[in-house]
């Protein structure tokens, strides 16, 4: 049946059928009909004849290529596509056909590039053709872990087919408010107002023209951060990840508003998680693949792990032969008291295609699991093969998430989840070197005027990823997220305070602006204001302070306990000089019965003096601390101070005083084997073989007396080393 002459032509020219392919399309239909009737030779002859009659029509060669490919003549189909492109290098149909050829051959990247050429080649009025090509682009970008480009492609498909409800539902499901993606990965990015107006080419309907318009604008106004941001967004839309990151980075460097820098920075982090950006990414899936030799042994291990609670969340797809789950490790008992036990994910596991694969954002974690599997299964699996692939955005914050494996007290469980997340972000992640911060950790980067603006986006991306996978709890008939961690605390710890170039905008509902106040309310008498009762002074949380706030504390006004809190907070922030200052101030304060143990303060002050090369002062502090401890703390820290003094004498290269100090410790604790070995090791550092041998032999005798095999072996090793030194 012939096409309606008033609909768009199937070749994608954008013209109505009657003005485009109507003169020869009946011949195409006739050839297709012959092919369906198994009259292949007649059909092929008809198509060849058509190419002779209309050799100057690119569309004819396109129809011919499609016919040949459907007839399993791939090589001839490629030649026909080449003929079409000779006539029209931008012919969308030809690029689309060639993209399908590459896709069927498994060339994902090559196919995607060709689909994008097709999108630029098709006329903007060719809605059906453009819908098909953008759906293909959406599928490929999704597989490449590029959600920003995928969303744009799906939006374009919806734009060209607004009446197709399924497409709108798909867009809402994958990128709407209920999407599992982090906000920075699923949001609809908008252009920012630029210093100069745009070229009219932006309104053509082609993303390629929008790209050219912003490239021209950045050349004209290279100091305009909005122009660079807009160019970066367009480049992200078309899947040009590296160039998009470069443009967005320029926008951040020029930006004076931290909120806008944050948005650009978070987008950069999303782009870096996509295919092709592995070398620049801070977040990767570190995996190990082990081909299976004995499936039964593997299944027995998985069943055993399942019973033990080590393998959780198991899902299986019997038709595809896939088993998935997570391998967990129970957290230490310190975090697992009070009737609730937590575990962290050691690796994600998938068994498919005759192999086991384990992945985790932390390489050490997945490597440990792979080694354990190999140790358990031995020859039942082959040696692990390491892989590094783009990470699923849902796994970016995996290390910060604990999961309850035994819950009797929901409140206690939630508190433990919060403790785990807070410890990860504020004590581990805050110091982790990141490529996005030029190899610096976030805490160090905020001290750089150049890197500070980038930290906003890095933190926002991590926040979005964490919020997207936060656990939920049942309240009535609703599932509500558990507020596990507030990233405002992390920003505060980093000292990130927003600088805003524009006045802050307050979102006020339209109805609140439009509706006048009811007369009864407008004319109501105003109650006389009563003075508010003075608020009780808020107790400051020194442990949550950032470096700048700690530096602003009055040392003299701090109590002993507050001095120790400030010292510990400074150490967590790697602000060593501040920590020593708090320790030195703390040890000089009058006796406080609420805090009799001052060893942590003395230890930090002693270390500070030692690092500064003031060894005599460090020894003096040790003696003062030991005296204070004896007078006010029952001498409970005498051994700790003794060890400090002995190690200081070693650093001073005074072997005689070091030996005396160690002998004093051993005399107080003759049954404690570690003191013999520590003393011997320290003597070896001094190259005092005779003294090292004496301590090691005394330790060996004590080990035999206590029947301590580990201590015995250690002492024998030290004896051998001492004899070599002597």
H or E stretch including 473?
strand 472-475
* Burial readout 259-296 (b: 16 or more C-beta within 10 A, e: otherwise): bbbbbbbbbbbbbbbbbbbeeebbbbbbbbbbebeeee
From the list 465, 479, 18, 124, the residue with the least C-alpha distance to 266 is 465
Domains of the chain and CATH, by start: 1-89 (1.25.40.10), 284-390 (3.30.160), 402-494 (no CATH), 562-725 (1.25.40.10)
Helices (H), 523-614: 547-551, 560-572, 576-587, 599-611
From the list 234, 238, 249, 236, the residue with the least C-alpha distance to 191 is 234
pLDDT at 510: 32
From the list 395, 340, 337, the residue with the least C-alpha distance to 366 is 395
pLDDT at 722: 92
Q: Please tell me the distance from the alpha carbon of residue 234 to that of residue 127, in angstroms, as a whole number.
A: 21
CB atoms within 10 A of CB 657: 15
Instruction: Show the tokens assigned to 390.
Output: 């783009």
C-alpha distances in Å from residue 659, one per residue of 252, 337, 671: 59, 43, 18
Q: Please tell me the distance from the alpha carbon of residue 261 to that of residue 436, in angstroms, as a whole number.
A: 14
Helices (H), 428-509: 442-445, 452-468, 487-494
144 and 108 Cβ atoms separated by less than 8 Å: yes
pLDDT at 95: 93
268-281 tens-digit pLDDT? 999 999 999 999 99
pLDDT at 19: 52
**Regions of the chain where pLDDT drops below 50:** 1-3, 5-6, 17-18, 334-337, 503-532, 535-537
Q: Please tell me the distance from the alpha carbon of residue 384 to that of residue 370, in angstroms, as a whole number.
A: 7
C-alpha distances in Å from residue 353, one per residue of 223, 314, 636: 52, 17, 61
Q: Please tell me the distance from the alpha carbon of residue 126 to that of residue 129, in angstroms, as a whole number.
A: 6
**CA atoms within a 13 Å half-sphere pointing along the CA-CB vector of 603:** 16
pLDDT at 56: 86
* Residues in the chain, total: 726
77 and 68 Cβ atoms separated by less than 8 Å: yes
282 and 200 Cβ atoms separated by less than 8 Å: no
What lies within 8 Å, CB to CB, of 497 at 6+ separation is: none
212-246 tens-digit pLDDT? 999 999 999 999 999 999 999 999 999 999 999 99
Q: Please tell me the distance from the alpha carbon of residue 451 to that of residue 410, in angstroms, as a whole number.
A: 41
Q: Please tell me the distance from the alpha carbon of residue 401 to that of residue 215, in angstroms, as a whole number.
A: 42
504-538 tens-digit pLDDT? 343 333 332 233 333 333 333 333 444 445 544 45
Instruction: Show the tokens assigned to 260.
Output: 């806008």
pLDDT at 539: 62
């Amino acid at each position: 049946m012939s096409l309606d002459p008033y609909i768009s032509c199937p070749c994608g020219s954008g013209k109505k059928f009657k003005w485009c392919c109507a003169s020869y399309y009946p011949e195409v239909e006739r050839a297709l009909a012959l092919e369906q009737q198994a009259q292949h030779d007649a059909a092929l002859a008809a198509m060849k004849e058509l190419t002779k009659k209309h050799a100057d029509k690119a569309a004819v060669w396109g129809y011919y290529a499609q016919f040949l490919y459907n007839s399993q003549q791939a090589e001839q189909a490629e030649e026909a596509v080449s003929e079409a492109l000779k006539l029209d290098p931008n012919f969308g149909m030809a690029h689309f056909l060639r993209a399908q050829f590459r896709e069927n051959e498994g060339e994902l990247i090559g196919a995607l590039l060709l689909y994008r050429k097709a999108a630029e080649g098709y006329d903007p009025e060719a809605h059906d053709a453009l819908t098909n090509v953008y759906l293909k682009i959406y599928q490929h970008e999704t597989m490449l872990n590029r959600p920003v480009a995928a969303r744009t492609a799906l939006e374009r498909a919806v734009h060209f087919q607004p009446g197709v409800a399924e497409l709108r539902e798909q867009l809402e499901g994958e990128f709407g408010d209920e999407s599992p993606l982090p906000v920075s990965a699923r949001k609809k990015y908008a252009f920012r107002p630029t210093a100069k107006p745009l070229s009219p080419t932006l309104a053509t309907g082609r993303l390629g023209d929008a790209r050219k318009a912003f490239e021209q604008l950045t050349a004209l106004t290279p100091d305009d951060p909005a122009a660079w941001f807009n160019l970066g967004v367009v480049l992200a839309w078309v899947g040009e990840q590296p160039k998009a990151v470069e443009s967005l980075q320029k926008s951040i460097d020029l930006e004076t508003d931290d909120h806008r820098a944050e948005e650009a920075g978070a987008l950069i982090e999303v782009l870096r998680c996509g295919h092709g950006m592995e070398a620049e990414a801070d977040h990767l899936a570190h995996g190990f693949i082990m081909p299976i030799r004995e499936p039964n042994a593997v299944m027995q291990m998985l069943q055993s792990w399942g019973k033990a609670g080590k393998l959780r969340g198991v899902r299986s797809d019997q038709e595809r032969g896939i088993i998935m789950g997570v391998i967990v490790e129970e957290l230490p008992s310190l975090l697992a008291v009070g009737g609730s036990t937590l575990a962290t994910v050691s690796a994600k596991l998938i068994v498919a295609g005759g192999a086991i694969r384990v992945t985790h954002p932390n390489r050490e974690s997945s490597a440990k699991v792979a080694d354990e599997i190999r140790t358990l299964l031995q020859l039942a699996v082959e040696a692990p093969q390491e892989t590094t692939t783009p990470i699923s955005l849902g796994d970016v914050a995996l290390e910060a998430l604990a999961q309850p494996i035994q819950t009797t007290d929901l409140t206690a469980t939630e508190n433990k989840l919060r403790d785990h997340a807070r410890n990860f972000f504020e004590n581990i992640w805050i110091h982790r070197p990141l490529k996005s911060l030029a190899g610096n950790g976030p805490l160090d980067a905020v001290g750089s005027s150049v890197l500070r603006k980038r930290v906003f986006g890095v933190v926002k991306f991590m926040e979005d990823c964490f919020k997207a996978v936060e656990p939920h709890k049942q309240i009535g008939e609703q599932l509500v997220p558990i507020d596990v961690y507030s990233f405002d605390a992390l920003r505060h710890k980093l000292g990130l305070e927003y600088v805003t170039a524009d006045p802050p905008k307050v979102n006020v509902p339209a109805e609140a602006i439009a509706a006048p106040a009811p007369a009864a309310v407008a004319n109501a008498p105003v109650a006389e204001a009563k003075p508010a009762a003075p608020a009780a002074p808020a107790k400051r949380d020194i442990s949550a302070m950032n470096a700048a706030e700690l530096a602003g504390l009055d040392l003299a006004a701090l109590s002993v306990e507050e001095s120790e809190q400030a010292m510990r907070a400074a150490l967590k922030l790697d602000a060593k000089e501040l920590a020593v200052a708090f320790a030195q101030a703390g040890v000089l304060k009058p006796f406080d019965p609420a805090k009799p143990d001052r060893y942590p303060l003395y230890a930090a002050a002693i270390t500070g003096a030692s690092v500064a090369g003031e060894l005599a002062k460090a020894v003096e502090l040790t003696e003062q601390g030991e005296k204070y401890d004896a007078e006010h703390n029952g001498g409970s820290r005498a051994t700790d101070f003794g060890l400090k003094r002995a190690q200081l004498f070693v650093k001073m290269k005074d072997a005689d005083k070091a030996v005396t100090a160690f002998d004093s410790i051993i005399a107080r604790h003759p049954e404690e084997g570690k003191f013999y070995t520590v003393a011997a090791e320290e003597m070896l550092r001094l190259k005092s073989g005779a003294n090292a041998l004496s301590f090691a032999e005394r330790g060996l005798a004590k080990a035999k007396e206590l029947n301590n095999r580990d201590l015995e072996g250690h002492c024998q090793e030290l004896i051998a080393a001492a004899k070599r030194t002597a």
